[in-house]
Amino acid sequence: MVPIFSRKLRSLRRQAHQSLYLSRQTQDYLTQEALTALFYLTVIICLHTYAMVVFEDLSIKDATWLTTTSITTVGYGDISAKTDAGRLSTTILIFFGGIFVLGKIAGDFIDFRSSRRSAKKSGHWSYSRMKNHIVIIGSKTDSEIHIQRLVAEFERNHETAGQEIVLVTGSFGSDLPYSLQQQNIKFVNGRGSDPTFLKQAGVANADIIIILAWDENQNSSDGHAFDIISRLREMGSDAKIVAECVDNSNRSRLTASGASMVLRPIRGYPEMIVGGLLNRGSIGILENLFTASGESIVIDEKQHTGSWAEIVTSSVCADKGVPIAYRNAETGETVTSPAGSAQINADAIFVLRSA
């Protein structure tokens, strides 16, 4: 079973590498064709301009004007060829330059745009020249909603808003979901453990790299993250690396390997990744609240009136914890982080207390 799986994996990698290679090969071919056509067009323009000077006795300025209006088939008529040799030269120019060469350039340009659009859509375009962007290295099975919320959170924070985002994942096949396309996400179709796809995503010049746990229920996923971090540092990346860690005992190893921040995979709250990255140290507090292993939130259900500052001070001085929210006695609404001077009429307060 293992050899079969290994052969299948190698086959998929070869297919992915071939698709990327063909995409680059097409780009190089079309670029070369466009440059060749441009060279011939320049030669034709120069020869026709020279012919107009010799056969029509025009100045360089007028000859250039006649050549330009002729090759673009505009033909204003203010200057025209009078001699047989001049007319023949202009006819040749219009046929070979205006019709053939310009038509070929236009066709090659359309082919290039179509090829680029197809390659970007299927995840085979290279973003290796991109700089100061965000790279998200996906998991075994990425959720469209989770990626969507994670990207939206980056866009919402002023420190990361406007940065380009490249998603490296094989979870969506050959076509990125429409909702993610609408968020203008750049797509690399492949596994983040493969250096080919890492290079394609431009990790060497990235500002932030997010490594999602390969399988949030398997401790072995930490090995996957460790491998990617090692590859990133070997490739010269000095980006801020955020890695999800399944087994807490592996945190120190991931940090030592080069991760800037390590956190538990919490698929329901992708906001934790961005919040922890932009507010260093806050991730430990948030994780403790989720796991109740450090601090926890308890509810004190009794009447509380007065300013919020007085209620907080009274609770802290009595070693009952730090109030962070209250329940309005009149509306039943839960209000978080009110102003210190706010006058409170609560039938319960929510207190952050050591477990």
How many distinct structural domains can be found in the chain?
3
Predicted confidence at residue 15, as pLDDT, reads 46
254 in any annotated domain: yes
The pair of three-digit structure tokens given for residue 295, joined into one six-digit string:
């601090």
User: What interhelical angle do 144-156 and 271-278 show, nearest 10?
Assistant: 30
89 in any annotated domain: yes
Eight-class DSSP state of 246: S
**Alpha helices (runs of H) in 214-326, residue ranges in sequence order:** 221-234, 251-257, 271-278, 282-291, 308-317
109 in any annotated domain: yes
Eight-class DSSP state of 291: H
Task: State the Cα–Cα distance between residues 262 and 208, nearest whole angstrom.
Answer: 13
Predicted confidence at residue 277, as pLDDT, reads 73
Other beta carbons less than 10 A from residue 9's beta carbon: 11
Same domain flag for 246 and 202: yes
Task: State the Cα–Cα distance between residues 139 and 244, nearest whole angstrom.
Answer: 10
The pair of three-digit structure tokens given for residue 221, joined into one six-digit string:
């996923």
199 in any annotated domain: yes
With tokens 């179709």, the residue in question is: 189
Q: Is 117 left (phi over 0), alpha (psi -120 to 50) or beta?
A: alpha
Predicted confidence at residue 69, as pLDDT, reads 82
User: What interhelical angle do 84-92 and 2-55 show, nearest 10?
Assistant: 170
47 in any annotated domain: yes
Predicted confidence at residue 324, as pLDDT, reads 87
Task: State the Cα–Cα distance between residues 235 and 61, nearest whole angstrom.
Answer: 54
Predicted confidence at residue 3, as pLDDT, reads 45
128 in any annotated domain: no
- Across the chain, which has 355 residues, the per-10-residue mean pLDDT values are 44 47 58 76 85 88 86 75 85 73 73 78 88 95 91 89 94 88 92 92 95 92 94 92 92 91 79 71 61 71 92 91 90 90 92 78
User: Is-contact 240 261, C-beta < 8 A?
Assistant: yes
Same domain flag for 258 and 159: yes
Same domain flag for 284 and 150: yes
**Alpha helices (runs of H) in 292-347, residue ranges in sequence order:** 308-317
What is the b/e burial string over 17-54, where b = at least 16 CB atoms within 10 angstroms of the residue's CB? eebbeebeebbeebeebbeebeeebeebbeebbebbee
Domain range holding 7? 2-122
Predicted confidence at residue 17, as pLDDT, reads 47
Predicted confidence at residue 2, as pLDDT, reads 38
The pair of three-digit structure tokens given for residue 345, joined into one six-digit string:
């009429």
129 in any annotated domain: no
Helix or strand (DSSP H, E) at 73: none
Predicted confidence at residue 105, as pLDDT, reads 72
Predicted confidence at residue 210, as pLDDT, reads 95
Same domain flag for 43 and 153: no
At which of 99, 122, 145 does a domain end? Answer: 122
User: Is-contact 272 263, C-beta < 8 A?
Assistant: yes
Same domain flag for 95 and 154: no
Q: What is each CA distance from 244 to 119, 197, 213, 214, in whole angstroms?
A: 30, 20, 5, 9
Same domain flag for 20 and 110: yes
At which of 291, 320, 345 does a domain end? Answer: 291
